[in-house]
Each structure stands twice: as structure tokens, then as C-alpha cells.
Structure 1
Amino acid sequence: MSVTRRQALLFSGLGMVGAGIVTVPISGVSAKSASTLSDSDMPRPYRTPLTIPPPLAFQTTVDANGIKTRHYTVTERLANARILPRLATPILGYNGIFPGPTIRIDQGTRAVVHMRNQLPAKHPTLGHALPTSTHLHGSASLPQFDGYANDLTLPGFYKDYQYPNFQSARSLWYHDHAVHFTAQNVYSGLAAQYLISDPIEKGLLPQGNFDIPLTVSDAMFAANGSLAFDDRDQSGLWGDVILVNGMPWPVMKVQRRVYRFRILNASVSRSYRFTLSNGEPVIMVATDGGLMPAAQTVGSWRHGNAERYEVLIDFRKYAAGTRIELRNLSNDNNRDFDNTGKIMAFDVVADAVDTKDPSWNRIPTTLASSHAMDLTAAAATKTREFRVKRHDDTWSIDDLTWEDVIASGFKKVMAEPALNAVEIWEFRNTAGGWFHPIHLHLVDFQILSRNGKPPFAYEKGPKDVAYVGEEESVRLLVQFGPHRGRYMVHCHNPTHEDHAMMLQFRVGLRADQADPNDPITAAPAVFDPVQG
């Protein structure tokens, strides 16, 4: 499918959701709105309570070796969400909700997710076909269960995804990864958190009602309440309504104790610079790949697409009735609107404090080491350099795109590291005008440096996404394993990824070797005999 064809689909779809969307000039400016809602239909900050996505139900089996497996079923389907005061918004949802249900699971318990595509043949407003591919972002999954972009499940089919969950505690998320239309599908609602726990994390950080997943995204709306989609010639989509767990600028009531927040940026293109309204710092305790070696006190942090940061906020010192806002200072090359500097509010209440969880009044300083953070640059056997670019409205890495990978019969790779090899990968962004959150599938990595300087304090933990800002050069230290096979690397601004800033690397295999874990053919989707 050519870029021209994709553009035609997007432009025709945009016409369906409503003409007259206000577009904002290219760099660093503000405007009143992007939506075409009437004033009475436009949501206002801090009018709705925070909602927490429900946990996903499961059944457990135990094999002859005593290994536990949880079996989940998720159905991708069209539904209506109540985001706006009066109007319904059609979404694509895991089990019909956005965000989808949360999966919480212990390290060492395997999971099989029976993912049913019961979506319509075409997107109801944008008009593109709706095969899907589910990526568990941050999981060391086998290639055939990793959500490879061209490993597609058609409407009326299902795929059973197998997840090993041997990694240490971390905040993952599952989202659609279908080739060419990841941006539209995730924006339409196919995103949810997946949280792995382990004994170390449970002993250090708040649990249960005080361990709060926050999925942050932004949206623009057509006059009829549907999601509008304007990716500005495939450069990015910036909405004027900030959603947290699918609700606009919500309010959360909090006790006078320590809370843990798992913050995921699920926006298509918007990056954030989060801070608290009273100027107090937060305590950063975990990054994409789990616990940091040591907690970091930060006043604000730059949060790119698909990054996960876990923070502790201590509400003990605030009087009942105090309101504290989580705000957004923004970053270069966002497009900001009247209320995109607001995220959500916390209202401190006079309720009796639940002290059964010993972490209620504890701020840990020493956390946990990890394999990625224990690596040293001296162990690297190779250094590779990659440049992120844009040419003729096509995004690329080193002048290569996913179209080149497809044309090669999925053989072309950007690198062939040996199994368990340690390498340094440097990503250079000299094109100007955009930032790129670069995601490596399969692996955690350590950020060694930015422009020759140490990483930011909040990045000093295991990562799988690196914010490669304007004119930045970022060096990553990576060990490639534990699986052989082909895995993707891409910008996690999915408008860039779809057009077509995505390549792949091959671990521990030559191009001419048979691949028992071929990501497209090893575990294909199956016709679903139960429809609806």
C-alpha cells in the first residue's frame, strides 16, 4: 500500500468525522481548540472523577511441573464511550472499554491471552480495514507473540498470545500494532496496562488501592462527539482534550498517605513535561523496565510516547481540602491548546488513613538493581549508529523504511546481533523539527548518555523507549536476548511509525537459517467459530 493511498484514506476519513478542524502552525504555539464541539459539549477540567480500569478476569491451570498459567479472553469490539458531557463517542475497545481491562500478574506465572478480533471490517469513521496485531510492550515475548506489524488477525479471527512473564516487576501495556494503522487504532481505544509484580516490588511500594495506573492521552472531537483524526500530513496528532484513564481532566480523592502512580503516555504524538502545581517534587521509583537502582527526586520530567514512569506522591503533609494538580509544562514541537497544561487533580480528604499497607508512610531510597542497569559499556563488542530522518514526507531510520522490509520479504534487517551480545546503539536526531521516542522490542536497555552528558535523573533505570529529542544523540547499552529471531525497532509516535519509521533486527540467526519462530507464520490467527 503506497503512502499516497494511505493519505487518501486518512483524508477521506477526516471528512467523515467532521470538517473545520482547527489546525495549529508547525512549532511550539498555542491555540484555543482543535475540536469542533459546541461550547456546551466541550468538557471542562476537574468535573469528573477518576475511574480505574477493571481487572481482567482469568482462569488458572497448573501443569505437571507445577507451572501456573492464567488464561484470559479479550474481545476487540466497537463500542460507545461516555467521555463528553452529552455525546457518545464511538471507540474501538478491548472488551469495549478504553483503556482496556488491566492485567495484573505475578512474575513466573505464564499467561495466554485469547485475543478475539470482533471489530467491523472497516473503521466506522476513518474507513480503513481493521485487522489487528497485539503487542505486549515491554515483554520479552517470542517473535510470533510479539505483535509483529504484519502478523495480522482479521475481523472474525482470534490469536492466542503466550507471555512468559519471567521478567522482574514492571509496568507494561498492550496495544494494537497493525501495519500502517497503529496510530488510528490506538487513538481509537486499543490500549491497556499489563502489570507484573514480584516479591521485591511488593515489599517496597504501595499495593492494591494505593497502586494506581494512569493512562494519559489526548484527543480532538468532531461536532457529533466522534474522535476526529488530523495527523498534519503524518507529522503528528495533538488533541485539545487531555484524558486520564479515558476521562477528561479527572479528579481523584486521596488519603493523607503515600500513593504510587504508574503513568503511561498513550498519546499518539504529544509528549508531556509533568509537574505538580505546588512545586513539590515526586519520587521516581521505576522506569519502563521496572525498579530503578535508587529512587530519584524530580520536580518535573519529560515523558515521551509509550514511556512508563512510576512515581510516589506523599500526601501526608497536606490538610484535608487541599487540591494539588498534575500539570503539563509541555516540550518543544508539541501543539498546545487552552487546557493542555492541565492533566488531573488530587483532592486530599479527611478519611481515616489505611495503614494496613506498611508503605503508607514510607519513601524508599534504595530499590533494586536489574540486569540492564548492571551492564557496563566495557562489555560491548560493537557500536552502531543510526540516524532518524524525514525525506519527501516519509519517515526513516538510516534512509530505510518498513516498506523496504516488506519489499525484501521481511528479510532486510538493520542489525544482526549475536544471541546475548552486548552492544551500544546510538540514535542521532539531526533532522530537526520533531522528537522521536525510539522503542526496541524484546530488550531492556540502559541509557548511557545524551549528547555526551549523563542521562536525566529520572531515566536512570531500565528502559525500552528512549526519548530522542531535537538535535539529540542518545547512546543505549543493550544485551540482545533471551530469544532468537526478528524484532522491530521504531519511533513510537505511531504517525511516524506508520509512514514508515520502523525497521527490524535479527538476534542469533543468519538470513539463510530456518526460523522456527517466524513472527508471521509460526502462530497464525485462527477463524473464530463464535462470532460476536
Structure 2
Amino acid sequence: MSDTLVHNDFEEFEETGPQGQDGPEGRSVPAAPPAAGLVPFMDALRIPPRLRPDKAEALEGVTVDLRATWVRLHSQLPPSRVWAYQGNFPGPTIEVRRKQRLRVAWTNRLSGAYPVTAYEVPIAGPPASNVPGHDEAGAEEVKGVAELPPWSVTHLHGAPTGAANDGWAQNAVSPGDAQLSEYPNDCRATALWYHDHAMHITRWNVFTGLAGMYLIRDEEEEALRLPRDEYEVPLVLMDRNLDKDPDGRLTGRLLHKVQSVGKDAEGRNVTIPFNGPYTLVNGVIWPHFDVEARWYRFRVVNASNARFYRLALIDEETGQQVTGAVKQIGTDGGLLDRPVDLDAPVSIAPSERLDLLIDFSRLRGRTLRLVNTPDGKNPGEADEAGGVPYPQVMQFRVDGEPVRDRFVLPKVLSSFQRITHANAPAHGHRIIALTPPGTVGGNGHPEIWELRQVAEADVTIPGDGVIQVRNEMGETTTYQRISRTFDDAMGISVELDSWEQWSFLNLGGPTHPMHIHLISFQAMSRQAYAAGGFDPAVGGTGKDAPVAYSGELEVLPSERGWKDTIQVPGGQMVNVIGRFTGATGRFMYHCHILEHEDMAMMRPFLVTPGQVLAFDHHRPGDGHHGVA
């Protein structure tokens, strides 16, 4: 391969780990501060190695090992034990060209004890997951996590690939086995990412470190002469928590600690998704990055379990957000048609990607901070109650010397064309409800409900699973639930090469980043709906009190490109459209908050040639025709 894979410094301690406070080769590990704090911007940003198989290597196939290793997340910490692709945390950035078919043997060589400690604590005050250690009153270790086997399956997120290669959650492999996947890479230039997707335990497996980026190149992108090589930098964002020893010192041990809000019908804790105090960029807590005074390209992915980031670039001298220097040129599925100025904070949900250009020539000699700022707060402002105790993400240190940079920002980036209701191809319709926590029958968790249209006379209103929706034209439609759990009967069968509009209706509760496997889609519209008509205690709407349309909302310029994940806030219907092409078989769609995904917010769908679908005699979701 053209690039050599470089492993983390602590790989030789894969089985036994470092002894006491000594690092590899007897090097001393700086002691953590007596409190749980860490000094930000002490450590340099790590750049994951690149794996660039040539044409022959891609066809022959490459092997990517999953194995346990040790890595230091911060220089004030002892090494942390993680699971990682090729022993790198995050995994190597894989690069291929469009239509360059790549075969990968994801080989499970994981060993040893599970590297994550999991605790649940009663809800009280600010989010406990933001507090290191697990010494709160009432904290309970999650039974069975420490005994989890190294069982993993890798999903190439956003890839148009056959169902057998997609990383079906139940097809995980054990140590000694390999998951053999083939990726056609027949899509526009974009940044995908790969991560674990094992059924029931994705939230913990990804937490161990099993994630990396995957870039696809094409001629349209190359014609732009964008910054490349050392000036094109992946930024893999994660948040983590760490355990403490009895003296209050951070141990480096990964801690998945969440708050419980009650018990479900089977006596298990119902928990809030994980949000941790420490933001990692490329596996380093709050790193710094020395840059030249020129254009850089940053490929950003939110690989966190559940944390949403609202990113802003702050000038440390003035404390104000930088304007005029940051441009967004792409989304999950590739380049936009034109650059978008990011002079206000930009939101990125779990699994979303941002393709950014930053002109550091405007900022020579400055020190800048990338921060996570809560909605409604000034950039960089911490908000303990809102779950952002530490706003810092990373620091940029811009060299003061001028640099000759030949790059010129293009006015037009690509041949991308936006789809609206006015110009959309002929398509079918689906409506999918996202229920609030506490809905009857949901065991306290939010759920995905697939719906079909029915006659009002054929159902009881109010009734469990019956929802009436009044649209923008004042028309009321009655829907009935046909599925709510992963194991319910198949509800959506899609005809190969057809276009479909999927409408995600959030009936209250948190924002859900909804991800559909196989395809890219566009957000055609966002609409506000008064979700108060839905009664969680009934599991439906009351008669003459539908979930009613209340206005149009903006699809932000930063999300008007091709997407595979879309944010669906409470009280909104988000309408997306995509073409189900390139492969057939059984795929999944789900909320990409990993704790939600593991607790019922995931459903299968089937893509089938139309000639075959004509013989399907069981269509709970009314097959390809969907519901209007």
C-alpha cells in the first residue's frame, strides 16, 4: 500500500497493559491532577494514518484488524485501554476513488477484558455523565457489561453497498473470524465513516474506540484543487468520561455513565443517553493544532454516542466568533453547489459530517478555539445545566509568517441540484412517527412507529397506535401503527430504483438524528406540528385533537446537500427524499443516538426488484406504494 500504517505508542502493552504509573519503555507518565480536571490544549492533534490501496490491492482485498491497544488520551493521564482498527484510535482514514471496488476483511483479533466500565446513577441535578468517576450515591454497575465478549460488526456509514456487505447488526463476528465486505464506492466524492454496529451493544462497542473515516474521491472534486495531503485533515469528534481511583485521580479507564429516570416493565433502568465531559478530537482530549497561514480543509464527523455539537471558531484575543474565514463546502453525501459562510455556530448531530474550509491567512499569528456552545448562548459559553460543562473542543495556533497559497475559493463547487416539492421525481410516501419517552407500551423509551393510512371508521379514537395528522391544507388523515420494535414484521418494502419521500414526525421529546442505510437523501422541507395532540398515556391522538400543522420552518443552508442523517426535533415533521438504488436486500434505519438505537429505535426495510415485489403477498406497510 502507498501509505504505511503507524500504530499507537502503547501497542506493545496490548495484553497486560502498563504497570502502575510507568508507560512503555519505562517512560514516566505525568500524574493526573489531584482533582478530575485536565489542562486543555496541552497535546498536539494526532492525524490518523491513511490507508490508500491501489487498484490491484483493492481488488485483492485488504485486511483491517480489530484489536485491543493502549493510547494516551491526554498527557496528564495514564494510558487508556481501547479497541481500535489497526491498533489506531481512531482507525486509519481509508481513501479510494469513485467506482474503485474495495474488498475489506474486518478481522476480529480483539482479546482481553472489555475496556469500558458502565454505570447507571439516579437522576439528580446536572447530568451525572458529565462528572468523572462513579462514586455518586445510588450508582449501580450495569450487570453483564464487564463480561461482554469481543463481538463486533463494522458498518460503512453512508455507503451504497449490498445488504450482505452493509454490516447488519446481528451478523457480528467473534475473535478469530473475519467479516468480509465489498464496497463498490459508486457514489460522488464524499466523507463516509466506519464504526461498530453490533446488535444491542453498539453504544459500548463504539465507545471502546471502534470508528474511523473513509474518503471517496472523484474527478469533479479534484478539479477544484482543494487543499490536500497535510492540508486536508480529518477531525473525528467524540466525547468520553473517565473513571477515578479512590484518591480522586483519573485512571484513564473509559467510563460509560448515564442517568436513570426510572424502571421499565421488566425492572430495568430507563436511562438518558450518554454525554461526557471530555471532548476528544482524533483520540486526544482538547488538542492543539499548529497551522500555516493558508487554506485548510477539515473533514469533520461527529462520532459521539449522543452529544450534539454547536461548533463555533473563537478568536482568543477578542473572544468573538471568527467571521469570513470558515466556509462549508459539503455535507454527509458530498459537495454542495456553492460554499456556505459559517459566521454563526453550526450544529452537527451524531454521525453527521461537515466538509469545511478555513482561511487561516486572514488570521496570521492568532490563537483560535473551536468550541461547543449551547443553543441560545454566546459562543464558547459553558452551560453546566445544559450538559456542556467544558465548551472547548480544540485550539488552532496560526503561524505568523505569510505563505504563498495558490488555492482560490471557487464560486461553484459541484453539479449538485437541490430537490424540492416542486421538482421532485415521481415518488411514494412513508410516514414514520417518533414517540416521546413514557408512551404506553414503550417501556419508557422513545420508539419508531411505522404507520399506514386507514379509514377513521375502521379504528377506535382515541386508541393505542392511532394517530390523526392535520396537514397544511387542513386535511386530516388517520394512521395506524404497524410496527414499533426491531423484531416486528417487515413494514417497508421498497422497489429497487424507486424514489420515496419519508416523513419523520417527532411527537415530542429529544431531537433524533435519523439515519437511513444504503441511500443519500435530501431534506425537502421542515414543518412545525403541534405535538400536544398526541397523548403518551393513550398512545395516540384524541378525537378532534389531531397532531396539527402549524407552519413552515427553514431547511438551513448547511443541511441542503445530500445527507444520510437528518436532525428531527420534537414538534417537527422533516420530509426527506431519496432514490433506493445500487443494491437490494435487507437494510436498517434508526436514530443515531446509540443509546436509542440499542433500545428499540431501529427498524429493518427491504429493497427488492419491482418484478419480484409484485409477488409479495404480505405488505404490512402497503409495500412500495406507502401511504400518501
Compared CA separation, residues 401 and 117, structure 1 to 2 (3 A): farther
Q: How does 1:374-393 map to 2 (within 5 A)?
A: 378-389=424-435, 390=437, 391-393=442-444
Q: 2:108 matched to which residue of 1?
A: 117
Decide whether the 8 Å contact of 1:424 with 1:475 is kept in 2. Answer: yes
Deviates more, 1:132-141 or 1:230-239: 230-239
Q: TM-score, normalised by structure 2?
A: 0.69
Q: 1:447 matched to which residue of 2?
A: 523
Q: Tell me, what secondary structure is at the counterpart of 1:150?
A: coil
Compared CA separation, residues 371 and 513, structure 1 to 2 (3 A): farther
Decide whether the 8 Å contact of 2:83 with 2:115 is kept in 1. Answer: no
Q: 1:350 matched to which residue of 2?
A: 400
1:79 aligns with 2:89: no
Q: Give the distance between the partners of 2:159 and 2:200, measured in 1 at CA.
A: 22
Q: Give the distance between the partners of 2:161 and 2:444, measured in 1 at CA.
A: 33
Q: 2:189 matched to which residue of 1?
A: 169
Superposed displacement of residue 381, structure 1: 2.7
Compared CA separation, residues 201 and 92, structure 1 to 2 (3 A): same
Q: 1:28 matched to which residue of 2?
A: none
Decide whether the 8 Å contact of 1:100 with 1:193 is kept in 2. Answer: yes
Superposed displacement of residue 375, structure 1: 9.0
Q: Tell me, what secondary structure is at the counterpart of 1:242?
A: strand
Decide whether the 8 Å contact of 1:384 with 1:426 is kept in 2. Answer: yes
Superposed displacement of residue 83, structure 1: 0.8
Q: 1:289 matched to which residue of 2?
A: 333
Decide whether the 8 Å contact of 1:231 with 1:495 is kept in 2. Answer: no
1:54 aligns with 2:49: yes
Q: 1:226 matched to which residue of 2?
A: 253
Superposed displacement of residue 467, structure 1: 0.8
Decide whether the 8 Å contact of 2:448 with 2:600 is kept in 1. Answer: no
1:105 aligns with 2:156: no
Q: Tell me, what secondary structure is at the counterpart of 2:110?
A: coil
Superposed displacement of residue 512, structure 1: 10
Compared CA separation, residues 195 and 402, structure 1 to 2 (3 A): farther
Q: 1:258 matched to which residue of 2?
A: 295
Q: How does 1:470-509 map to 2 (within 5 A)?
A: 470-508=570-608
1:319 aligns with 2:319: no
Q: 1:268 matched to which residue of 2?
A: 305
Decide whether the 8 Å contact of 2:53 with 2:95 is kept in 1. Answer: no
Superposed displacement of residue 423, structure 1: 1.6
Superposed displacement of residue 511, structure 1: 7.8
Superposed displacement of residue 328, structure 1: 1.1
Q: RMSD over aligned Cα, in angstroms?
A: 2.5
1:396 aligns with 2:447: yes
Q: How does 1:400-479 map to 2 (within 5 A)?
A: 404-406=485-487, 412-432=489-509, 434-451=510-527, 452-479=552-579
1:489 counterpart letter in structure 2: Y
Q: Tell me, what secondary structure is at the counterpart of 2:493?
A: coil
Q: Tell me, what secondary structure is at the counterpart of 1:44?
A: coil
Superposed displacement of residue 378, structure 1: 3.9
Decide whether the 8 Å contact of 1:284 with 1:295 is kept in 2. Answer: yes
1:280 aligns with 2:301: no
CA-to-aligned-CA distance 1:197-247 (integer Å, 9 cap, x gap): 111112222111111110011110001220101233442101101100010
Compared CA separation, residues 75 and 42, structure 1 to 2 (3 A): farther
CA-to-aligned-CA distance 1:51-92 (integer Å, 9 cap, x gap): 100112646428xxxxx6363221111111101313111111
Superposed displacement of residue 134, structure 1: 0.6
Q: Tell me, what secondary structure is at the counterpart of 1:69?
A: helix
Compared CA separation, residues 462 and 328, structure 1 to 2 (3 A): same
Q: Give the distance between the partners of 2:443 and 2:160, measured in 1 at CA.
A: 35
Deviates more, 1:69-78 or 1:178-187: 69-78
Superposed displacement of residue 108, structure 1: 2.0
Q: TM-score, normalised by structure 1?
A: 0.81
Q: Tell me, what secondary structure is at the counterpart of 2:329?
A: strand
Compared CA separation, residues 354 and 171, structure 1 to 2 (3 A): farther
Larger Rg: 2
Please, which runs of 5 or more residues in structure 1 have no aligned partner?
1-36, 63-67, 515-532
Q: 2:620 matched to which residue of 1?
A: none
Deviates more, 1:451-460 or 1:344-353: 344-353
Compared CA separation, residues 192 and 369, structure 1 to 2 (3 A): same
Q: Higher relative CO (CA 8 A, sep ≥ 6), structure 1 or 2?
A: 1
Q: Give the distance between the partners of 1:225 and 1:151, measured in 2 at CA.
A: 31
Identity of counterpart residues, as a percentage? 31
Q: Give the distance between the partners of 2:152 and 2:240, measured in 1 at CA.
A: 21
Please, which runs of 5 or more residues in structure 2 have no aligned partner?
1-31, 117-144, 245-250, 260-269, 315-319, 377-382, 451-480, 528-551, 617-628
1:153 aligns with 2:148: no
Q: 1:10 matched to which residue of 2?
A: none
1:199 counterpart letter in structure 2: E
1:231 counterpart letter in structure 2: V
Q: 2:13 matched to which residue of 1?
A: none
Q: Give the distance between the partners of 2:580 and 2:601, measured in 1 at CA.
A: 21
Q: Give the distance between the partners of 1:95 and 1:168, measured in 2 at CA.
A: 27
Aligned residues: 462
Q: Give the distance between the partners of 2:367 and 2:517, measured in 1 at CA.
A: 39
Compared CA separation, residues 448 and 375, structure 1 to 2 (3 A): closer
CA-to-aligned-CA distance 1:257-294 (integer Å, 9 cap, x gap): 11111110001010011111142242110000000112
Decide whether the 8 Å contact of 1:133 with 1:148 is kept in 2. Answer: yes
Q: Give the distance between the partners of 1:466 and 1:244, measured in 2 at CA.
A: 22
Decide whether the 8 Å contact of 1:59 with 1:71 is kept in 2. Answer: no
Q: Tell me, what secondary structure is at the counterpart of 2:361?
A: coil
Compared CA separation, residues 208 and 201, structure 1 to 2 (3 A): same
Q: Tell me, what secondary structure is at the counterpart of 1:489?
A: strand
Q: Tell me, what secondary structure is at the counterpart of 1:417?
A: strand
2:387 counterpart letter in structure 1: D
